[in-house]
Amino acid sequence: MDRYLVFGHPVRHSKSPFIHTLFARQTQQELEYGLAEPAVDEFAQALRTFFDQGGKGCNVTVPFKEQAFTLVDRLSPRAKRAGAVNTIKLTDDGVLLGDNTDGAGLVADLKSHGVTLADSRILLLGAGGAARGALAPLLAELPSELVIANRTHTKAQQLAAEFCDLGPVTAQTYEQLAGPFDLVINSTSASLQGELPPLAPALIHTDIAIYDMMYGASDTAFITWAKQHGARQTMDGLGMLVEQAAEAFTVWRGIRPGTKQVLRELKRNLGVI
Ligand code: ATR
């Protein structure tokens, strides 16, 4: 049977096996999908061993995405732009192809929530790996403006400079931000520590869409905060998780699974509904 897995550390709580097993069942693909948690300095060896032993493809998550970028034979254009690889496929001619489906997953999830990206003013919080992966797919949707704000302003400036050939992207400090924005995407890891990015509450209004790439069984700190300040449309990163997986599954199997039912089952599994 064709073998796939996700590499991460820690990875025990990954939902990827659950998601891909449902995709396989739905599309009647015969495959198995597991977990691998190599020591941080043993990822390269573990990756090689997996493919030497007949693995067909894998996902890569924290903290290995940047390293995976350097280990594959060939990169897709979107992985090259993202500077990170979350999906690897062994092609029929034996080439390890590195791809990145995170940004496509974000955009697909935003669209499935009915968020309009064309001509919109987007505020992207954070300038780490998650922000980098999102930039090209967001700019491809032709927003009127995309502003990056980050605690360490120089990192936001560097990202804006790197992507300004793709669209109207600029960097501003949190203090400089002036609304109204149509959509705020939180790509920071602040919610992981229950912290908030230092965003002025005045930027939140009833018609704004709020997206937090993080997710949990209950609202993230950022979503709770945004709701308290009047945001009516809030979304967490669970949909993005399922959409990036669907995109990876399509890369591997050449068949696109449906995501709605799988997202519902995942929510039930997490106790969200
Ligand atoms: P990832 O790959 O998930 O993007 P990362 O590359 O470590 O992770 O980036 C984390 C991002 O969250 C950074 O933009 C970080 O800001 P700094 O560049 O200033 O470190 C941001 N971040 C983390 N904790 C934060 C907090 N409490 N407030 C605001 N931003 C925070």
pLDDT for 80-102, tens place per residue? 999 999 999 999 999 999 999 99
Atom number, ligand 1, closest to the C-alpha of residue 62:
2
Ligand 1 centroid to 150 CA: how many Å? 8
- Decide the pairing of beta strands 183-186 and 87-90: unpaired
Q: DSSP alpha helices (H): ranges in 4-117?
A: 16-27, 43-52, 65-71, 77-82, 102-112
pLDDT for 208-242, tens place per residue? 999 999 998 899 999 999 999 999 999 999 999 99
Mutate to test the pocket of ligand 1, among 187, 189, 196, 240 (most ligand atoms within 8 A of CB): 189
Mutate to test the pocket of ligand 1, among 151, 186, 213 (most ligand atoms within 8 A of CB): 151
Q: Is the CB of 197 under 6 A from ligand 1?
A: yes
Residue 145 vs residues 30, 124, 160, 216, 217: alpha-carbon distances, Å: 44, 11, 12, 30, 32
Ligand 1 centroid to 128 CA: how many Å? 6
- Decide the pairing of beta strands 169-171 and 96-99: unpaired
What global pTM score does this model have?
Answer: 0.96
Q: What is the pLDDT along the chain (273 residues), one digit of tens a residue?
A: 999 999 999 999 999 999 999 999 999 999 999 999 999 999 999 999 999 999 999 999 999 999 999 999 999 999 999 999 999 999 999 999 999 999 999 999 999 999 999 999 999 999 999 999 999 999 999 999 999 999 999 999 999 999 999 999 999 999 999 989 999 999 999 988 889 999 999 999 999 999 999 998 899 999 999 999 999 999 999 999 999 999 999 999 999 999 999 999 999 998 887
Paired tokens of 27:
């599309």
Q: Is 65 a catalytic residue?
A: yes
Residue 62 vs residues 72, 142, 165, 182: alpha-carbon distances, Å: 17, 29, 28, 30
Q: Is the CB of 213 under 6 A from ligand 1?
A: no
Nearest CA to ligand 1 atom 24: 190
Q: Is the CB of 63 under 6 A from ligand 1?
A: no
Nearest CA to ligand 1 atom 12: 188
Atom number, ligand 1, closest to the C-alpha of residue 65:
2
Atom number, ligand 1, closest to the C-alpha of residue 125:
14
The strand pairing partners of 60, in sequence order, are 7
Q: Are 247 and 101 in contact (CB under 8 A)?
A: yes
The catalytic position among 56, 65, 80, 89 is: 65
Atom number, ligand 1, closest to the C-alpha of residue 188:
12
Mutate to test the pocket of ligand 1, among 188, 213, 215, 240 (most ligand atoms within 8 A of CB): 188
Please tell me the predicted confidence (pLDDT) of residue 216: 87
